[in-house]
Amino acid sequence: MHISAHKNLKNIAIILCAGSGNRTGLLHNKILHMVGHITVLEHTLSAFDQSNIDGFVVVTSIQDQTAITSLLSTLQIKKPLSITTGGKARTDSVINGLNHTAKIYPDCSIVAIHDGARPYVQPQLINDTIESAKKYGSGILAVPAIDTIKQVDSDNIIGTLDREMLYHIQTPQSFRFDEIFSAYNKCVSVWANALGRPNFTDDSEVYQLAGYTPKIVLGDYNNIKLTTPNDFLKPASINSFIGVGFDVHQLVENRPLILGGVTIPFSKGLLGHSDADVLTHAIMDAILSASNLSDIGTHFPDTDPNYKNANSIELLKKVLEKISALDFKIHNISAVIMAEKPKLAPHISAIINSLASVLSISTTQISISATTHEGLGIIGEGKGIASSVSCLLVK
Ligand code: MG
């Protein structure tokens, strides 16, 4: 945590993480929930870290402050970050965040206020709101309403709102700092009592009540606020990519049997242009399939003398580089090896350890099973070994 003030930082993000998240049905703050391989908060901060934001204020509840502080200490956020506590209602948390921003970042000119539970915001959208705030005073992310929206009294529809005029408001909402700061201060002293509603769910309303005209910036329908249990399923489908891979090689005399980079003691080995590591080949194809990058035959053709007797683990490392360049990470790999002989069960954990180390993932992210073909067909007659692999990538 940075306590001293940071000079000359103009664009500051206030990330609101003080909500209880009761509607999610989770036992912990949704901010700390894992989506893919990282928490909701890490997704959010990472998007802002890649944007034109210069520094952060993270607003937490008192009960979550220890957990969030310890998570933040493990993250590699490039920009300065300071934590403060929120209040009971959202409005209190925003006011605390603004007061803290004034203290820690005295040169702040633009502030982007964002719900920590909107992890799918894109850096470009954040930048768009900042640019709008510089130009017009504010930039409010919003998307046009898709559904027809009705006014309802009890069970009765009493009116239809003109959809052309309706937008779903998102965050971030960026403002000139002095304007939103004074608007909130006014809101505390005057409107809260006069309007009989001490909590505002939206900053642009406070800004508007202070006499400004908030400016819309076109948002993204994927930039949802995680609120109900269903919301945690939607983003997973947006950011996850499944792939399958299959390979088979012939078993012959005088060749080593290599599976997942591990040499298995056996009287025969697999025949191929490379080391014929059938499991690693199927894994590479599953990863390439999930990332829509064709297959190993395209990347490492068996007509290329460079790949004669190639170590398949080295090829797997090349595949990893290709998907890393596209920002993909492996969520999990699930493989089955089909072999009549040898018995593979004693070697499975060594194979998992070998692959986890190469792929830089946990051994719990790789599952490998082995099966025979009950004497049926080519595999069952012991003429070859096959492998089938599924892989889930996250972006
Ligand atoms: Mg092969």
| pLDDT given at position 236 | 56
Instruction: Using pLDDT thresholds of 50, 70 and 90, give the confidence band for residue 234.
Output: low
> What six digits make up the tokens of 251?
């078993």
CA dist., res. 319 & res. 351, Å (int): 19
Ion ligand 1, residues whose Cβ is below 5 A away: 247, 281
Residue 187 has pLDDT above 50, yes or no: yes
Give pLDDT tens digits for 10-67. Answer: 999 999 999 766 666 777 788 888 876 688 999 999 999 999 999 999 999 999 999 9
Taking the centre of ligand 1 as the mean of its atom positions, its distance from the CA of residue 242, in whole angstroms, is 20
CA of 292 to the centre of ligand 1 (A): 19
270: CA distance to ligand 1 center in Å?
10
- Average pLDDT over every residue of 203-224: 95
pLDDT digits (tens, 9 = 90+) for 235-269: 556 678 999 999 999 999 999 999 999 999 999 99
Q: What is the pLDDT of residue 89?
A: 86
Strand ranges inside the chain, DSSP E: 11-17, 34-35, 38-39, 55-60, 81-85, 110-115, 138-144, 150-153, 156-160, 167-176, 216-218, 240-253, 257-259, 262-264, 268-271, 329-338, 366-371, 384-394
Centre of ligand 1 to C-alpha 248, Å, is 6
Distance between CA atoms of 107 and 223, rounded to whole angstroms? 29
List, for residues 116-141, the tens digit of each pLDDT value. Answer: 999 999 999 999 999 999 999 999 99
- From ligand 1's centre to the CA of 241, what distance in Å? 23
Rounded to the nearest angstrom, the distance between the alpha carbon of 373 and the centre of ligand 1 is 19
Dist. CA 296 → ligand 1 center (Å): 8
- pLDDT for the residue 196: 65
Residue 354 alpha carbon to ligand 1 centre in Å: 19
Give me ligand 1 centre to Cα 319, in Å.
Answer: 14
Q: How many whole angstroms separate alpha carbon 126 and alpha carbon 219?
A: 9
Q: How many whole angstroms from 278 Cα to the centroid of ligand 1?
A: 5
Mean pLDDT of 295-320: 91
Q: In whole angstroms, what is the distance from residue 364 CA to residue 387 CA?
A: 20
Region of poorest pLDDT, from 133-147, 148-162, 185-199, 210-224: 185-199
